[in-house]
Amino acid sequence: MLPGFIDTHGHLANAGVNLGYIDCSLEAGVKSIKDIQAKITKKARTALGGEWIKGFNFDESKLAEKRIPNKLDLDRAAPNHPVFLTMVGTHVYVANSKAFELMAIRADTPDPPVGDLTETRDW
């Protein structure tokens, strides 16, 4: 830290982790899911076979579609690479089919403990 530098909330570890990731923010020119797909496709062209393609900082409220990119959107952009994106607040993540395949997550995979918040739980 630098003297006089004040940051009341930060994810400093993410600064290093995000090196090499695709910037999917409005500031990086991303205005739609198609823009995110274009960035993923461009990265896939130079990525090694099966290499993970990772992105960060998408904000669905600022995308033309006003929705979170889904698995099918990511599949269209890079069907042969696992894709993993982090939303701007780092609390939402999306992945494509190849990523789910490599993580052995299928439709019949049970929810993790406390992973299904649709039912009321006694915390």
Q: Is the pLDDT of residue 18 over 80?
A: no
The pLDDT assigned to 1 comes to 55
Specify whether the CB–CB gap between 31 and 52 falls below 8 A: no
Residue indicated by tokens 């198609």 = 34
Q: Is the pLDDT of residue 119 over 90?
A: no
Q: How far is residue 67's CA from residue 60's CA, in Å, rounded to a whole number?
A: 5
Model pLDDT for residues 73-90, shown as the tens digit of each residue? 999 999 999 999 999 987
Q: What is the mean pLDDT of residues 105-120?
A: 74
**Nearest to residue 90, comparing CAs of 66, 43, 58, 52?**
58
Q: Domains along the chain?
A: 21-102 (3.10.310.70)
pTM, rounded to two decimals:
0.79
Q: How far is residue 65's CA from residue 90's CA, in Å, rounded to a whole number?
A: 20
pLDDT grade for 21, boundaries at 50, 70 and 90:
confident
